[in-house]
């Protein structure tokens, strides 16, 4: 990989905290506006595709915002006139805001990471392991991509892929105000299906910076392990996936 400061080509000001986990640069940016991070993420993707920068994991809380992926449906919006930012990730309509930890892995997909189903499963497995470490038993569900606790959704996943660089990522509900979901049908569900670690963990919840470090420690070894596997035969690059 090209030599460089670990978090260049990122948003300004830089992260509140930066560290290296298993050779992968990580940054926790605190609370930032969504469009600021989206612009920086798109620029980073292009730079990564040109091999000018290395892989990174960005962790952030957003100011309250609604975003719609490529699978959005007309009935997803329950409050007329609500401002929604349309983006290139997979998935439908969701909310990001305080109390929710958003993870943006901006990675070149090589080796087994080009199996996008395996890449999505990796993200789910890391979140499940994180929640288990905080006393919450979670799982995947035939209801859809993401992580669920007894049928209630605690983490949503939506990625995009451009020139074999993955971006967007996952959103884990630590302790958000779930009332924000009532203006939409999040991920196509009724808002009552959404939950959080603060609820499922009987009120115990790490602060976002600590959660970012814990989750990075679970993500990075899995990323290295999947990347070390041979790619699927003749993988076809999608423009986005959920």
DSSP state of 209: H
In a domain, 6, yes or no: no
For the stretch 58-96, pLDDT in tens is 999 999 999 998 887 778 888 888 999 999 998 889 999
pLDDT score of 241 = 45
What is the distance between the alpha carbons of residues 186 and 175, in angstroms, rounded to a whole number? 17
In a domain, 241, yes or no: no
Task: Match 């979901």 to its residue by tokens.
Answer: 181
Task: Match 């959704």 to its residue by tokens.
Answer: 153
Q: What is the mean pLDDT of the chain?
A: 91
Active site residues: 187
In a domain, 2, yes or no: no
Number of structural domains found in the chain: 1
Provide the residue range defining the domain that includes 87. Answer: 17-230
CATH, residue 118: 3.30.930.10
In a domain, 5, yes or no: no
Mean pLDDT of 28-40: 97
Nearest to 173 by CA among 188, 186, 185: 186
What is the distance between the alpha carbons of residues 85 and 204, in angstroms, rounded to a whole number? 32
In a domain, 1, yes or no: no
In a domain, 236, yes or no: no
For the stretch 172-217, pLDDT in tens is 999 999 999 999 998 888 889 999 999 999 767 999 999 999 999 9
DSSP state of 63: S
In a domain, 10, yes or no: no
Half-sphere CA count of 27, side-chain side, radius 13 A: 22
Rounded to two decimals, the pTM is 0.91
């Amino acid at each position: 990989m090209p030599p460089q400061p670990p978090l260049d080509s990122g948003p300004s000001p830089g992260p509140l905290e930066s560290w290296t986990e298993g050779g992968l640069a990580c940054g926790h940016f605190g609370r930032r506006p969504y469009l600021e991070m989206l612009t920086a993420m798109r620029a980073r993707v292009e730079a990564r595709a040109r091999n000018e920068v290395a892989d990174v994991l960005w962790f952030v809380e957003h100011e309250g915002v609604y975003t719609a992926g490529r699978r959005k449906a007309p009935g997803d919006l329950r409050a007329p006139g609500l401002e929604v930012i349309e983006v290139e990730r997979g998935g439908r309509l969701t909310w990001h805001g305080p109390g929710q930890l958003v993870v943006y892995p901006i990675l070149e997909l090589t080796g087994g990471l080009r199996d996008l189903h395996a890449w999505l499963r990796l993200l789910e497995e890391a979140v499940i392991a994180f929640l288990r470490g905080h006393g919450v038993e979670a799982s995947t569900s035939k209801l859809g991509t993401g992580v669920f606790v007894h049928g209630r959704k605690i983490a949503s996943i939506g990625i995009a892929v451009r020139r074999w660089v993955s971006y967007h990522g996952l959103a884990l509900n630590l302790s958000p105000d779930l009332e924000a979901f009532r203006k939409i049908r999040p991920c196509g569900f009724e808002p009552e299906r959404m939950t959080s670690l603060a609820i499922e963990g009987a009120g115990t919840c790490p602060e976002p910076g600590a959660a970012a470090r814990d989750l990075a420690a679970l993500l990075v070894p899995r990323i290295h392990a999947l990347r070390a596997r041979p790619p699927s035969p003749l993988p076809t690059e999608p423009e986005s996936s959920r």
